[in-house]
Amino acid sequence: MTDQTSNRMWGGRFAAGPDAIMEAINASIGFDRRLAAQDIAGSRAHAAMLAATGIVSDRDAEAIREGLLTVLSEMEAGQFVFSAALEDIHMNVEARLKDVIGEAAGRLHTGRSRNDQVATDFRLWVRDQLDAAEEALVTLLRACLAQAEVGADWVMPGFTHLQVAQPVTWGHHMMAYVEMLGRDLGRVRDARNRMNECPLGAAALAGTSFPIDRDMTASELGFDRPCANSLDAVSDRDFALEFLNVASICAMHLSRLAEELVIWSSAQFRFVALSDRFSTGSSIMPQKRNPDAAELIRAKIGRIFGANVALMTVMKGLPLAYSKDMQEDKEQVFDAADNLLLALAAMDGMVRDMAPDREVLEAAASTGFSTATDLADWLVRVLDLPFREAHHVTGSLVAMAERTGRDLPDLTLDEMQSVHGEITASVYDVLGVHNSVASRVSYGGTAPAQVRAQIARWKEMLE
């Protein structure tokens, strides 16, 4: 597509067009066409402002605004012919506008530059992604809450080091993810608040001598205010980086939950059954049901965090203001946003559909001497032993049970008393997993009453 003549948008001082390789490395239209709607919205706001301030005539501004809508509808209809010779979305739109409305199109670029234009377009695009992520997170939070509510008092093993540690409730485990995803939601909202300033009107880097009204374009585009420093406005990409940071942390949380779903749905665990809708079969082993969606969600953090590292690396060391390096911001963010939203939707579907198995969870909860801590606490509370001694006594009892292939509640009172003479039959009350979880009533603990209180708090907050 190399244009042998010089570029029609900036080629005034050039005698020849670019080499094909130059065009290939320079053009961003292959990906920044995703900014078309934002570019046209930004240009329409700019044109309205140029008319309101008397910088261009109402007639020309109206022609520009109408023409831009025509260009947009051509794009939406798939009729627009994108040109690599025109480099990017901004010049593709403007060139087509000239075809549609004639010379008046040339007035649109008064008092602005592609530098503030791309910064504005990209902010608008990232803002849309933050809004979509907010909605997806709320949906997923509701799915986790619904799971927590169903099994608020179902017992399951709590793990540390992936070794059975103490019994917890299913509701408590689900609510741990509600807390994590809830912080992700807070980070999304914070990022949106911080980034919602408008670069348009910063022009190339120094502002403009035209009497533009930056408050007008900012408010027209839904920004809270214009960016206060023109150099910063055109060279800041930390709104995109913050999005990638927030997305990375969120993807990391999704990855942890995905890993648990992979483990829990295995034949060795059987804690949950994943639905057919979110499982796949094997082409060779007819018995297989694979948790592919969970595995792919688990993997998404790789590309999302990769995008974060890539853009941080692009931006580090760039002198103010705009450098073409910054064109490399978009593909990373596009890919990360697409994959974060896909992962959130897939996780929502999996969580909504999955069926935890109450009996299996409860049976697993009592394996691995999971109430040994309850026994030690009983020795402290009832017999007034120092905790360290109670720990030691309990360890001996666990060893005795283990030697004989039994669990703690299966030891006789005689056997217990052979380790510590003052133990009484009331010790059996704390050895059951239901008693164990019911006793953990400290704020934020796993007792069903605590879990239900947290569920109620979150339901209210999400209303």
Give the residue numbers marked as catalytic.
161, 282
237 interacts with ligand ARG by CB under 6 A: no
Length, in residues, of the chain:
463
| Shortest separation between residue 328's beta carbon and ligand ARG, angstroms | 8
Amino acid at 98: K
347 interacts with ligand ARG by CB under 6 A: no
Q: How far apart are CA 430 and CA 376, in angstroms?
A: 10
Cα 93-96-99 angle, rounded to 5 deg: 155
| Shortest separation between residue 318's beta carbon and ligand ARG, angstroms | 12
**Helix (H), strand (E) at residue 169:** strand 163-169
Q: Which DSSP symbol is given to 280?
A: B
Q: How far apart are CA 293 and CA 279, in angstroms?
A: 7
- CA 385, 386, 387, 393 dihedral sign is negative
Cβ(100)–Cβ(70) below 8 Å: yes
* Residue closer to ligand ARG, measured from CB, 185 or 203: 203
42 closest CA partner among 192, 212, 217: 217
Structure tokens at 351: 């969580």
Q: How far apart are CA 141 and CA 143, in angstroms?
A: 5
28 interacts with ligand ARG by CB under 6 A: yes
**Helix (H), strand (E) at residue 198:** strand 197-198
- Please list the residues that pair with 166 across neighbouring strands: 158
Among positions 241-280, residues that touch ligand ARG (CB under 6 A) are none
347 closest CA partner among 462, 254, 247, 250: 254
Structural Rg of the chain based on CA atoms: 31
| Shortest separation between residue 31's beta carbon and ligand ARG, angstroms | 9
Among positions 318-337, residues that touch ligand ARG (CB under 6 A) are 322, 324, 326-327
35 closest CA partner among 79, 105, 91: 91
**Helix (H), strand (E) at residue 158:** strand 155-160
* Residue closer to ligand ARG, measured from CB, 198 or 390: 198
* Residue closer to ligand ARG, measured from CB, 238 or 353: 238
Cβ(277)–Cβ(352) below 8 Å: no
* Residue closer to ligand ARG, measured from CB, 71 or 437: 71
| Shortest separation between residue 89's beta carbon and ligand ARG, angstroms | 7
**CB neighbour list of residue 311: distance below 8 Å, 6 or more residues apart:** 237, 240, 241, 244, 328, 329, 332, 333
Binding residues for ligand ARG, how many (CB under 6 A)? 10
* Residue closer to ligand ARG, measured from CB, 125 or 264: 125
| Shortest separation between residue 88's beta carbon and ligand ARG, angstroms | 4
Structure tokens at 182: 């809830």
Neighbours of 164 (CB within 10 A): 19
* Residue closer to ligand ARG, measured from CB, 48 or 118: 118
* Residue closer to ligand ARG, measured from CB, 114 or 298: 114
- My answer on whether omega of the bond before 95 falls inside 30° of 0, hence cis, is no
| Shortest separation between residue 81's beta carbon and ligand ARG, angstroms | 18
* Residue closer to ligand ARG, measured from CB, 201 or 448: 201
Site string for ligand ARG, 85-124 (x = CB under 6 A): ---x-------------------------xx--x------
List interacting residues with ligand ARG (CB under 6 A).
28, 32, 88, 114-115, 118, 322, 324, 326-327
